[in-house]
Structures are given as structure tokens and as C-alpha cells.
Structure 1
């Protein structure tokens, strides 16, 4: 089920649409079926975006690690009696 990008020849509206089977797509703005399928370009990831993603992942992992350590310590303390 590919997602295609289209431009309506009637109103020039550009949109993406998930195409199921052989159904004929229609413009999401005006309803026209006179569409031009556009070439989809790959998404580009910049160095700064990658750095932000890595920093967020490290922060998330550190938080999860400290939560696990705290839960383990609480478990150990409650079972030492």
C-alpha cells in the first residue's frame, strides 16, 4: 500500500495519499480525479538533526537506566528482611 504524492490539475492542491488497491484517487481539496502523480523525494537528514536525535536518545536511555537502578535497589531493600 504505497503512499503517493499528487497535484490536482484543477486547483493545484498538493497532497499525499495512501492508495489501496486499484481505487482512483481524488483531490482532498476539491474532489477532482484529474491528478498528476509527483516524484517523491527521499527525506534528507541533516547533521544537526541527527545530533539532536542522538542527544534525545541518550537522555532517554540515561533516564530509563536510572529508573531501573532505583527499582532494583528498592527491590533489594524490601527483600533483605
Structure 2
């Protein structure tokens, strides 16, 4: 079930649509069936990009973890009865 991008010839509205079986797409704005299917670029994920994303996520998680630890410690010290 591919998702296609379309441009309406009548109103120039661009939209995406999930096309199922023999379904005939229509413009989401004006209802016209006079559409041009646009060429979409596929998303490509390389190993290098995946590594950079994982490194950034780990760095973010370490920072959030230390902030949570500091906040927990401050809470415990301020509520020490």
C-alpha cells in the first residue's frame, strides 16, 4: 500500500494519499480527479547516518540522566526530615 504524492491540476493543491487497490484518487481540497502524481525521493539511511544518530542519542541520554540524578539528589536533600 504505497503512499503517493499528488498535485491537483485544477487548484494546484499538493497532498499525499495512501492508495489501496483500484482506488481512484481525488483532490483533498476541491475533489477533482485531474491529478499529477509527483516523484518522491526515497529516504535513505546509511550506516554513517545511523551511527551519528545513535551517538547523538547516547550523548543526549547521558545529559538527561545526569540532570535527573542531580534533580533527585537536590529533592532528597531538601526533603531530609
Structure 1 runs of 4+ aligned residues shifted over 4 Å read: none
TM-score norm. by structure 1 comes to 0.58
Give the superposed CA RMSD: 2.8
Asked whether 1:29 is paired with 2:59, we answer: no
TM-score norm. by structure 2 comes to 0.58
CA shift digits 1:21-74 (9 cap, x unpaired): 1110000011101000010113478xxxx85x43552134x54xxxxxxxxxxx
Tell me, which stretches of 5 or more residues in structure 2 are unaligned?
46-50, 66-81
Length, aligned pairs only? 60
